[in-house]
Structure 1
Amino acid sequence: MNVISKEVELPGGFFLGAGAVASRVVGINAEFMPIVLTEAEGRPAVNGSYFSCINPVDGQCLQEKYSDKFSDCHFGLMANLYACEGKPGKVIEVLAKKRTGDQSLVTALRKALENHYPDKSLALGGTFVIQKGKAKIHIMPREFSACPLNTNDEVNNWLKHFEVCAPLICQSVLVSKDPGLDLRIEHTHIFSHHGEGGHYYIDTTPDIVEYVGYFMPAEYVYRIDRPKETHAVGRD
């Protein structure tokens, strides 16, 4: 994370978002919820991140503080991150309840931006809380797949799916449409203070769900280590 802060020309910046843990550091594969104030001159990084993995004892969700076990700010595979100065200021507040369509809150926000600004690519990052209801999530298995996963069905069969209960804290990064950088256009991870967390899909209780969120537009979009060969598998 400290390297990324310099790559995006914001050393000492605050980062949140969704990604994967560094398996070589953690020793397993797991979902990563980064909350990091990166290092600056004369100040070390402050790591408040969480990660969720499959509990080897009972096969259920196991969420832990990343900083309780690992002192560095490494991540692995990929991450979608929102970076800012971490200072107080104006934000976009989103209040919503009782879902009537088939889209998640994040997809609804992204589609609204895409429809209103069809000729532009706009990005948002922020945090929202599911105050009431339940949500569908997945957590990657502790071990990487022994064979390639070539379709979305193969990916979904490999992942472990759960239903988790509010209150849930969700970190989200979204782009209204890909500006030609081969981006994952939305990515949201959940953590909680009752030990449940992972990759967010959508709420499962549309009649009672309640959301409150705070977002900021991005001034720039950075694509770091873009692969030469790409695919669309596993991007939902």
Structure 2
Amino acid sequence: MMNTIQRMLFVHSYLFSLRHEVEQMEFMGTSAEKRDLFTPSLKDVATELNNRLTLYFKTVDVDVVECPDLHQPPYCFAARGLCGQPMLVEVGGPTYLIPKVDRSKVYDFRDIQRVLNINPCYFMGAGAGPFPYTEVNCEGIYNVMIDGSVVKQRSKISKINVNNGTSEQQDLPNTETRFALLANLFVSQGLPGEVLKIHVKERIGCHDFIASIRNCLKDAYSTAVVGLGGVFLMKSGTFRQHVMPDFATDEIKSEEQLNGWLRFYNMSAPLVAVGTLVTGDMDLDLRLQHFHSSSDHNEAGHYHNDITPETVEYLAYFNIANSVVRIDKPKDSHDMGRD
């Protein structure tokens, strides 16, 4: 673990470098910008989280381990691991969904791979689903590996059954590589290697699992922006999640209207969630956390929090991102739809 002086020097060096390390990129005629993130060691982050997460959970165990084989259950992902050029990628944003949907905002993972110039390129994370394919607005739980011309798709969507109001999960085929409106993605080469293992039980704080981690990292590294991405398993408990219905016919102009439009459900463990978190927005209008989950029992959606703090158990495998790439940042922004 770094001592206080070492951390101050490391943070100061990182903050100074931000004045120079900005890479402008081009993506399908829209803006794209790449910036470095602060990258403490896995060991240092593990030590900080071990010490600080005890404010939020009764049982805490954080370590640096070899990533489990994510091909295997309960994950069944498109790649084995979370290593190899790890980065965060944010595309679009809530402004393209609310107050009024912009149906022109449809993206393709293959185009993003070309811009990032990574091969193989493994995407995992949370976003809006490919409505041109599903013919309805939906949640996207993304997990797709692109290696040359070969696509291995393990993504799912969650949508509302209009007949009975329940949510239902659906797999996406290898031929469907689009998503719409917004996405928060952890990108790597999907290689094995060392990652953070975060195992907690019995929530004693008021914040959700991801916000608790963000708060700890913010306290540890101050203004230096740290980003993580990967997967967490909701091993036990019940969880409040939402699923978007079809696009609203009227403009959504307030958080109250937004929550009235969304459909909220209590979903049961086990659930497997993928997404990203970051401790600051770096003037890039970044979404600070965004995770979507899926299951083997047809429940899937956007993670908010557990509603059974006494019995909840989370197990996460995260890697530290080296950089963040911001693609098609909206010109105008708002704070709605970021929970």
- TM-score interval, smaller chain: over 0.9
- CA distance in 2 between partners of 1:45 and 1:86 (Å): 13
Superposed, which structure 2 residues align to 1:150-169 within 5 Å? Answer: 150-169=253-272
Q: State yes or no: 1:59 paired with 2:162.
A: no
SS in 1 for 2:112: helix
- CA distance in 2 between partners of 1:137 and 1:126 (Å): 19
Question: Structure 1 pair 39/72, CA: closer, same or farther in 2 (3 Å)?
Answer: farther
- CA distance in 2 between partners of 1:230 and 1:7 (Å): 24
Checking the alignment, whether the CA contact within 8 Å between 1:124 and 1:174 is kept in structure 2 is yes
Q: State yes or no: 1:177 paired with 2:285.
A: no
Checking the alignment, whether the CA contact within 8 Å between 1:106 and 1:172 is kept in structure 2 is no
Checking the alignment, whether the CA contact within 8 Å between 1:50 and 1:191 is kept in structure 2 is yes
- CA distance in 2 between partners of 1:26 and 1:64 (Å): 10
Checking the alignment, whether the CA contact within 8 Å between 1:2 and 1:11 is kept in structure 2 is no
Aligned to 1:209: 312
One-letter code aligned to 1:58: N
Structure 2 gap ranges (5+): 1-108
Which has more radius of gyration? 2
Cα deviations across residues 37-60 of structure 1 (Å, max 9, x unaligned)? 0241xx411111011001122111
TM-score (norm 1): 0.95
One-letter code aligned to 1:116: A
Offset, 1:10: 1.6
Q: State yes or no: 1:228 paired with 2:331.
A: yes
SS in 2 for 1:161: strand
- CA distance in 1 between partners of 2:153 and 2:123 (Å): 10
- CA distance in 2 between partners of 1:76 and 1:100 (Å): 36
Structure 1 gap ranges (5+): none
Aligned to 1:112: 216
One-letter code aligned to 2:192: P
Aligned to 1:24: 132
Aligned to 2:37: none
Offset, 1:61: 1.1
Stretch deviating more after TM superposition (52-61 or 98-107): 52-61
Offset, 1:231: 1.0
One-letter code aligned to 2:154: G
Superposed, which structure 2 residues align to 1:87-106 within 5 Å? Answer: 87-106=191-210
Offset, 1:177: 1.2
Match 2:300 to one of 191, 197, 215: 197
One-letter code aligned to 1:23: F
Q: Which runs of 4+ in 1 moved over 3 A?
A: none
One-letter code aligned to 1:149: I
Match 1:140 to one of 239, 244, 262: 244
Q: State yes or no: 1:10 paired with 2:141.
A: no
Aligned to 2:98: none
One-letter code aligned to 2:181: L
Offset, 1:15: 0.7
- CA distance in 2 between partners of 1:9 and 1:176 (Å): 26
SS in 1 for 2:150: coil
Offset, 1:2: 1.2
Offset, 1:152: 1.0
Q: RMSD across aligned C-alpha pairs, in angstroms?
A: 1.0
TM-score (norm 2): 0.67
SS in 2 for 1:128: strand
- CA distance in 1 between partners of 2:286 and 2:297 (Å): 32
Checking the alignment, whether the CA contact within 8 Å between 2:119 and 2:189 is kept in structure 1 is no
- CA distance in 1 between partners of 2:275 and 2:196 (Å): 14
Checking the alignment, whether the CA contact within 8 Å between 1:2 and 1:39 is kept in structure 2 is no
- CA distance in 1 between partners of 2:118 and 2:289 (Å): 22
- CA distance in 1 between partners of 2:116 and 2:253 (Å): 32
